[in-house]
Amino acid sequence: MIILGIESSHDDTSIAIVENNYVIFNYKISQVNVHKQYGGTVPEIASREHYNNFYILLSKILQNYNLNKVDYIAYTKKPGLIGCLQMGKIFAHALSKILKKPLIPVNHLDGHIFSVLLTNVKTEKKEIKYPSIAFVVSGGHTNLYYLEDKKNKILIGQTLDDAAGEVFDKVARALNLGFPGGPVIDELFFQNRLKNLKKYHLTKPKLKTEFDFSFSGFKTQIINIIKNKENNEIDLIATLFEKTVIDYIVFVVKKAITKFKPKSLIISGGVSANKYLREQCLLLHSNTQLPLEEYTTDNGAMIAIAAMLLIKNK
């Protein structure tokens, strides 16, 4: 089964072709540089960028792929920025009409969950063992799910304020490290993790609900620390931030594993590119499934694979 997947819910425009779980190609244009100057995504500009980018990506695809081979057209239905989602929907509808192929609307979060099944090796097969705990952690979401089986997922925890990726971005901005913050802070963490971090202290939140998260307090604490910082200690502060936030996430996910005893653990979304998080999650469960790094952030391939499972599980 060959599916064309379209993603445009936020600031990435992406079109992919996926055959079963093998990614034939995953083309993507990121708008990060366009929105950087505004300190965050501007919805109206993002929608217009998607319009231009779809044209660029489709022109590239038409040069080297025969779209008549595609069986279905999948696109992100929700959640996301309304104008951006509309662009994807219109584009998907047009392709579906022209190619005479059925349309499959997909939930963006299912895309992230099932991105762990994507492979760049044609003969490699991957599957999820149920029940599973799935943690979708990105710039917009921090959702913890119990996946009972192929069809039923239960949200057991979520952030009560900022998303995890959002706090990486906000802390990076406070530390003058640029945007997006995750990759820069992660790099600094690996350069400095063996240094003595005890000079500063960050308190982890204590919530009444077992599997929810709170991240906004980290940003406030960092801002208070840097009021008195010495300039050369930014690296140490960023390192302590990553260590504390990831240890906190791992602590909550571990509680869910102890309670639900899942057969697999899925971690996906932009923040799942974090090397320390990946390292710690592999220690948490003998069957931890992570997406390949290129499929951690928003992409069309994850929309195609989620659509494939919808069709197969019908």
Q: Which two tokens stand for residue 2?
A: 């060959």
Interface mask toward ligand KG4 for 287-306; x: CB under 6 A: ----------xx--------
Q: By C-beta, is 242 or 298 nearer to Zn ion?
A: 298
Q: By C-beta, is 138 or 272 nearer to Zn ion?
A: 138
In whole angstroms, give the CA distance from residue 54 to residue 43: 16
The number of CA neighbours under 13 Å toward the Cβ of 267 is 27
User: What residue type is assigned to position 311 of the chain?
Assistant: I
Q: Which run of H or E residues covers position 256?
A: helix 234-260
CB of 102 to ligand KG4, least distance (A): 26
* Residue 181 lies near ligand KG4 (rule: CB under 6 A): yes
Residues of span 111-150 touching ligand KG4 by CB under 6 A: 138-140
Considering only 96, 267, 298, 308, the residue that binds Zn ion (CB under 5 A) is: 298
User: What residue type is assigned to position 116 of the chain?
Assistant: V
Query: Count residues contacting ligand KG4 (CB under 6 A)?
Result: 20
Answer left, alpha or beta for residue 112, where phi above 0 means left and psi between -120 and 50 means alpha.
alpha
* Residue 14 lies near Zn ion (rule: CB under 5 A): no
Interface mask toward ligand KG4 for 185-214; x: CB under 6 A: -x----------------------------
CB of 202 to Zn ion, least distance (A): 26
The number of CA neighbours under 13 Å toward the Cβ of 77 is 10
In whole angstroms, give the CA distance from residue 22 to residue 124: 8
Q: By C-beta, is 262 or 270 nearer to ligand KG4?
A: 270
Axis crossing angle, helix 164-174 with helix 181-192, rounded to the nearest 10: 70
CB of 108 to Zn ion, least distance (A): 6
Q: By C-beta, is 166 or 298 nearer to Zn ion?
A: 298
What does each C-alpha distance from 201 to 196, 204, 205, 247 come to in angstroms? 12, 10, 13, 14
Residues that bind ligand KG4 (CB under 6 A): 10, 138-140, 165-166, 168-169, 180-183, 186, 269-271, 273-274, 297-298
Residues that bind Zn ion (CB under 5 A): 138, 298
